[in-house]
Copies of this chain bind each other. A is one copy, B any other.
Amino acid sequence: MAQHNAFYAQSGGVTAVINASACGVIEACRRHSDQIGKVYAGHNGIIGALTEDLIDVSEESDEAIAALRHTPAGAFGSCRYKLKDIETHRAQYERLIEVFKAHDIRYFFYNGGGDSADTCLKVSQLSEKMGYPLTAIHVPKTVDNDLPITDNSPGFGSVAKYIATSTLEASLDIASMCATSTKVFVLEVMGRHAGWIAAAGALAGDKEGDAPHLVIFPEVAFDRAAVMARVEQSVKDYGYCVIVVSEGARYEDGTFLADSGNTDAFGHRQLGGVAPTLAGMVKQDLGYKYHWAVADYLQRAARHLASKTDVDQAYAVGEKAVELALAGDNAKMPAIKRTGDAPYTWTVEAAPLAEVANREKFMPRDFIREDGFGITEECRRYLSPLIQGEDFPPFENGLPQIAHLAKHRVERKLPEFSI
Contact = CB atoms under 8 A, between A and B. Distances in A.
Contact of A78 (B177, B270, B305, B392): B177
A402 interface: yes
Contacts of A61: none
A72 B294 CA distance: 20
Interface string A70-83: 01111101111100
A2 interface: no
Interface string A292-309: 111111101111110100
Contact of A173 (B161, B301, B397): B301
A35 interface: no
A65 interface: no
A298 B164 CA distance: 12
B297 A298 contact: no
A28 interface: no
Residue among A174, A181, A293, A301 with the most chain B CB within 10 A?
A301
Number of copies: 2
B301 A304 contact: no
Residue among A13, A161, A173, A181 with the most chain B CB within 10 A?
A173
B173 A73 contact: yes
A177 B398 contact: no
Interface stretch (A90-98, A316-324, A353-361, A383-391): A383-391
Contacts of A73: 169, 172-173, 175-176
A166 interface: yes
A121 interface: no
A389 B399 CA distance: 9
Interface of A: 10, 13-14, 16, 44, 47, 71-75, 77-81, 161, 164-166, 168-170, 172-177, 179-181, 185, 187, 203-204, 262, 264-265, 270, 272-273, 275-276, 283, 289, 291-298, 300-305, 307, 384, 387-390, 392, 395, 397-400, 402
A-B pairs with lowest CB-CB distance, top 10 = A74-B176, A387-B398, A73-B172, A293-B296, A169-B301, A44-B179, A173-B301, A79-B180, A170-B297, A73-B173
